[in-house]
Amino acid sequence: MTYLRKNIAEMAGYVPGFQPENEAEWIKLNTNENPYPPSPKVREAILAELGSDGGNLRKYPDAASREFRRVAAELYGFDADWVISANGSDELLNNLIRACAGEGEEIAYVHPSYSYYATLAAIQGAKVKTFGLTEAGRIADFPARYPGKIFFLTSPNAPLGIAFDKAYIRELAGRCAGILVVDEAYADFAEENALELVRECRNVVVTRTLSKSYSLAGMRLGLAVARPEMIAALDKIRDHYHLDRLALVAASAALRDQNYLREMVAKICSTRGRFAAVLESLGYQVLDSCANYVFAAPPDRDGKRVYEALFQRRILVRHFSDPLLAHGLRISIGTDEEMDQALAALREIG
By the criterion CB under 6 A, which residues form the site for ligand PMP?
A: 88-90, 114, 154, 158, 183, 185, 209, 211, 217, 222
Least distance CB 31 / ligand PMP (angstroms): 7
Element (H, E) at 237: helix 228-237
Residue with smaller CB distance to ligand PMP, 319 or 346: 319
Cis preceding-peptide flag for 298 (omega within 30 of 0): no
| Rounded-to-integer distance, Cα 206 and Cα 185, Å | 9
Contact between residue 314 and residue 26 where contact means Cβ atoms under 8 Å apart: yes
Q: How far is the CB of 102 from ligand PMP (least distance, A)?
A: 23
At closest approach, how far in Å is the CB of 350 from ligand PMP? 30
Task: CB nearer to ligand PMP: give 185 or 346.
Answer: 185
Minimum CB–partner distance for residue 131 and ligand PMP (Å)? 16
Q: Which is nearer to ligand PMP, 112 or 303 (CB)?
A: 112
Q: Cβ of residue 316: shortest distance to ligand PMP, in angstroms?
A: 15
Closest CA to 208 of 190, 187, 194, 237: 187
**CB nearer to ligand PMP: pick between 32 and 203:** 32
230, 241 Cβ separation under 8 angstroms: no
- 3-class secondary structure, 295: strand
CB of 18 to ligand PMP, least distance (A): 13
At 310, give phi and psi (nearest 5°): -70, -40
Cα–Cα–Cα angle for 188, 193, 198, rounded to 5 degrees: 125
Which of 34, 154 has the CB closer to ligand PMP?
154
Q: What is the per-residue DSSP string for 163-228?
A: ---HHHHHHHHHHBSSEEEEE-TTGGGSS--SHHHHHH-TTEEEEEESSSTTS-GGG--EEEE--H
Query: Measured from the CB atom, is 163 or 185 closer to ligand PMP?
Result: 185
